[in-house]
Amino acid sequence: MISLSSLMVFGATSYFYFSHDLPSIENLKNYKPPTVTKFYAENGELIGEFFLEKRKVVSLERIPNHLIQAFVAGEDARFFQHKGLDYGAILRAFLKNIFSGEILQGGSTITQQVVKSLLLTPEKSLTRKIREAILAFKIEKYLSKEEILYLYLNQIYLGHGAYGVAVAAEIYYGKSVEELNLAESALMAGLPQAPSKYSPHIHLEQAKKRQAYILNRMVEEGFISFGESLRTIQTPITIKGKQNSHIEKAPHFVEHVRKYIEEKYGKDGLYKSGLQVYTTLDLNTQNIAQEAIEHGLIEVEKRQKYPSGAPPSYIEGALICFDLETGHTKAMVGGRNFKKSQFNRATQALRQTGSAFKPIVFASALDKGYTPASIVVDSPIVFEFGNKKWKPKNYDEKFYGPTTLRNALAHSINVVTVKIARDIGIDYIRDYARNLGISSSLHNHLAMALGSSSVSLYELTKAYAVFAHQGKLFKPTFIQKILDRDGNLLEEHLPLYFPREPNDPEQVITPQTAYLMTNLLESAVQSGTGWRARALGRPVAAKTGTTDQFFDAWFVGYTPELVTGVWVGFDEDRSLGEKETGARAASPIWVAFMSKILKNKTVKDFPVPEGLEFMKIDPKTGQMSLRQGAILECFKEGTGPTQRVSSASKPTADFFKFDLNLSSKNR
């Protein structure tokens, strides 16, 4: 016969055997489950969510009492009386399920379910059940009933990716948990037994049967009256989970920010830590950008008789817009259809820029002694390297003789640009581009001056922004601030106008050079290739870009408020079609976008810094003139012409041959 002492020894031994390596329950006091990281637009509207478990942790005070009662009645009626295990409930559930032929009732208490979800594996074995029971007893001593309910209602899986009652309320009813009525609460409380079987999205009839069972249990437990249950069962329920429409709002922008978050905070930081990311995106601006891109690309397809938006004839486009005052990225379109291609053509695509690179060459020249009135002869020139020759030519294959810098940029004259680049040096131009924010590799031969190097739309647009930003390095931001799940500030990016440390942002070119470039680029709009931008009826500085065989079309420009870049082309090396230049294919998109954004906004002029002087000159000779036809030209103080050739102007000597050490690889 087994003695009492033997039983006690056996019990104690068994207890220590099963409990010696149990997980700690102390972390339950600081419950930090995986939660959803959310991205918000500038106006606070949701534009993206990232998670492994879609969960929103809410306090018990925010959960309606009838929802708590529904879960207790359905899952653990004696929750407030037992100490972790309910032996009577286990027996009742066993008998009820046997007689019904299906699982209507579970034997596990809410406390046991918390243990199973948070502390143990889902393994089905006697050992795990014993360990579960021991932990349930421990938790009941360590936590209050309210704390256990808080864990349970936030942790439980309720189907369709919903963890916790707050997200389930959104997914099934499209409302917050505080707004749930009794009918909705009872239906939700029926889900834990088998979320897929009782899903109102899939099996509404089964869900309603389960709802009736929960209401009957609430009557039995005295939570509601029989009359209330009858009225509730007749209450209509609209199942309409929230649509993830935010996914479509700015997919390339959101993906760009997502990569930054994952790189800085890791995968767990992105998918588990419930960050609140407040971005700079303006949804209205983004919508207008997407419409402008799509409409503009359809127009190109119509002209070239391509099937609209159909591979293999699928023309792509990109647009990026920065606010010049704040540095905020207001809109970014990385392509026509994010579902078809996640490749971001605004930030990831490296394309030849064509003439859109020329402003960097001309800015370099201004800092090497050239002025807007400097004369360079537009005439044939030949470069020899080995047994090969390169003879740059203009778009219209004409030559215009002596030409001022202003006219050369306005009319995008290639030969003049090449001669300037040869004079000031490719290395100087490359370093200058680096100062402006171009980080992509640039060629080491003169063709670079005509845009032979490949850069991103993002890089080129922020380089133009330096001219608009009075010569200061332009550092666009995509994020305003990031908070952790508790609302603590993790990082903040202040607007550019906010007071900063000295020399931040860095002055990379003088305000005078920056303004001269703005003034020159205004001529490109008023009398040159950027003429379509005149439609804005306000000061605009801009430049077109077209690559060989019309592979790429660019238009980058700015007003005093915004700088915007547009690119159009195929993903593969392929012509857009005859005459599809930057002026024809890209600038209409830019104009359509900027016209809507700036509509009804006050017209502003570009600010003129000190250190400049204006004088009238002959536009053909670049010399001072008071005759009819003279134009008002802008100069850095002390560099303007006199009655003779200005000493500040560069010589106009013409070269017809020049040895150039170029490899065939970099032609």
The residues facing 39 across adjacent strands are 48, 277
Q: Spell 548-570 as b/e; 16+ CB within 10 A means b.
A: eebbbbbbbbbbbbbbbbbbbbe
Scanning 312-446, the segments in alpha helix (DSSP H) are 358-366, 405-410, 414-424, 426-436
- pLDDT grade for 621, boundaries at 50, 70 and 90: confident
- pLDDT grade for 644, boundaries at 50, 70 and 90: very low
**540-560 mean pLDDT:** 97
pLDDT, position 595: 98
- pLDDT grade for 513, boundaries at 50, 70 and 90: very high
Residue among 290, 296, 284 nearest 338 (CA): 290
**406-424 mean pLDDT:** 96
User: pLDDT per residue over 449-475, tens digit each?
Assistant: 999 999 999 999 999 999 999 999 999
For tokens 């037992």, name the residue. 82
pLDDT, position 364: 98
pLDDT over threshold 70, residue 13: no
Q: State the catalytic residue, choosing from 108, 355, 523, 625.
A: 355
User: What's the pTM?
Assistant: 0.85
Residues in the chain: 667
Between residues 379 and 128, which one has the greater pLDDT? 379
Q: How far apart are CA 22 and CA 128, in angstroms?
A: 10
- Let me know: does 35 contact 56? Beta carbons within 8 Å: yes
* Share in percent of the chain as helix, strand, coil (round to 5): 40, 15, 40
Q: How far apart are CA 422 and CA 457, in angstroms?
A: 26
pLDDT, position 113: 84
Report strand pairing: 562-569 vs 552-558. antiparallel
Task: For the chain, give the percent of residues with pLDDT over 70.
Answer: 84
Q: How many CB atoms lie within 10 A of CB 379?
A: 16
Contacts of 520 (CB under 8 A, 6+ apart): 359, 362, 372, 405, 406, 409, 410, 541
User: pLDDT per residue over 349-375, tens digit each?
Assistant: 999 999 999 999 999 999 999 999 999
- Let me know: does 546 contact 581? Beta carbons within 8 Å: yes
Residue among 36, 35, 37, 41 nearest 278 (CA): 41
| Cα–Cα separations (whole angstroms), residue 427 to 361, 421, 442, 510, 611 | 11, 10, 10, 20, 28
Task: For the chain, give the percent of residues with pLDDT over 90.
Answer: 69
**106-124 mean pLDDT:** 73
- Helix/strand number for the chain, H first, E second: 19, 21
Tokens of 430: 């490359």
**268-282 mean pLDDT:** 96
pLDDT, position 96: 60
HSE-CB at 640 with a 13 A cutoff on CA atoms is 18
pLDDT, position 311: 54
Q: Which of 48-57, 125-134, 277-286 has the lowest mean pLDDT?
A: 125-134
**487-510 mean pLDDT:** 81
Q: Which of 53-67, 236-250, 347-361 has the lowest mean pLDDT?
A: 236-250
**405-431 mean pLDDT:** 96
pLDDT, position 620: 86
Q: How far apart are CA 119 and CA 129, in angstroms?
A: 12
HSE-CB at 611 with a 13 A cutoff on CA atoms is 10
- Name the DSSP class of 101: S
pLDDT, position 11: 46
pLDDT, position 504: 60
- pLDDT grade for 112, boundaries at 50, 70 and 90: confident
Residue among 260, 232, 23, 258 nearest 121 (CA): 23
Q: How far apart are CA 374 and CA 623, in angstroms?
A: 9
Q: Which of 105-119, 134-148, 336-350, 505-519 has the lowest mean pLDDT?
A: 105-119
**235-263 mean pLDDT:** 85
Q: How far apart are CA 130 and CA 120, in angstroms?
A: 11
- pLDDT grade for 626, boundaries at 50, 70 and 90: confident
- pLDDT grade for 124, boundaries at 50, 70 and 90: low
pLDDT, position 7: 43
Contacts of 292 (CB under 8 A, 6+ apart): 319, 589, 590, 592, 593, 596
- Let me know: does 368 contact 425? Beta carbons within 8 Å: no
pLDDT, position 132: 72
Q: How far apart are CA 203 and CA 181, in angstroms?
A: 21
For the purposes of burial, counting CB atoms within 10 Å of the CB of 632, is it exposed (0-12), middle (13-18) or buried (19 or more)?
exposed
User: pLDDT per residue over 157-178, tens digit each?
Assistant: 999 889 999 999 999 999 999 9
- pLDDT grade for 664, boundaries at 50, 70 and 90: very low
pLDDT over threshold 50, residue 398: yes
- Average pLDDT of the chain is 87
Q: How far apart are CA 660 and CA 445, in angstroms?
A: 8
Q: How far apart are CA 28 and CA 25, in angstroms?
A: 6
Q: How far apart are CA 55 and CA 199, in angstroms?
A: 18
- Let me know: does 472 contact 504? Beta carbons within 8 Å: no
Q: How far apart are CA 328 and CA 563, in angstroms?
A: 11
**99-112 mean pLDDT:** 63
- pLDDT grade for 243, boundaries at 50, 70 and 90: low
pLDDT over threshold 70, residue 236: yes
Residue spans of beta strands (DSSP E) within 552-667: 552-558, 562-569, 612-617, 631-636, 657-659
pLDDT over threshold 90, residue 566: yes
Domains in the chain (CATH in brackets) are: 63-233 (1.10.3810.10), 358-424+610-667 (no CATH)
pLDDT over threshold 90, residue 532: yes
The residues facing 375 across adjacent strands are 404
Q: State the catalytic residue, choosing from 75, 255, 459, 580.
A: 75
Q: How many CB atoms lie within 10 A of CB 666?
A: 12
- pLDDT grade for 242, boundaries at 50, 70 and 90: low
Q: Which of 186-200, 293-307, 376-390, 533-547 has the lowest mean pLDDT?
A: 376-390
**473-496 mean pLDDT:** 95
**177-186 mean pLDDT:** 96
280 phi, psi to nearest 5 deg: -95, 0
The residues facing 49 across adjacent strands are 38
Q: How many Å from the N-terminal Cα to the C-terminal Cα in the chain?
A: 100
Q: Which of 80-84, 139-143, 238-242, 642-646 has the lowest mean pLDDT?
A: 642-646
Residue 75 designated active-site: yes
Residue 355 designated active-site: yes
HSE-CB at 599 with a 13 A cutoff on CA atoms is 9
- Name the DSSP class of 503: T
The residues facing 383 across adjacent strands are 390, 658
Between residues 605 and 15, which one has the greater pLDDT? 605
Q: How far apart are CA 442 and CA 604, in angstroms?
A: 35
pLDDT over threshold 80, residue 520: yes
pLDDT over threshold 70, residue 648: no
Q: How far apart are CA 464 and CA 455, in angstroms?
A: 13
pLDDT over threshold 90, residue 110: no
The letter for the amino acid at 255 is E
User: pLDDT per residue over 283-304, tens digit each?
Assistant: 999 999 999 999 999 999 999 9
Residue 405 backbone zone (phi > 0: left; psi -120 to 50: alpha; other: beta):
alpha
For the purposes of burial, counting CB atoms within 10 Å of the CB of 203, is it exposed (0-12), middle (13-18) or buried (19 or more)?
middle
Report strand pairing: 162-163 vs 54-55. parallel
Q: Which of 12-16, 29-33, 243-247 has the lowest mean pLDDT?
A: 12-16
**134-161 mean pLDDT:** 87
- Let me know: does 169 contact 179? Beta carbons within 8 Å: yes
For the purposes of burial, counting CB atoms within 10 Å of the CB of 120, is it exposed (0-12), middle (13-18) or buried (19 or more)?
middle
HSE-CB at 131 with a 13 A cutoff on CA atoms is 21
- pLDDT grade for 89, boundaries at 50, 70 and 90: low
- pLDDT grade for 241, boundaries at 50, 70 and 90: low
pLDDT, position 436: 97
pLDDT, position 90: 59
pLDDT over threshold 50, residue 658: no
pLDDT over threshold 90, residue 12: no
- Let me know: does 324 contact 392? Beta carbons within 8 Å: no
Report helix, strand or coil for 663: coil
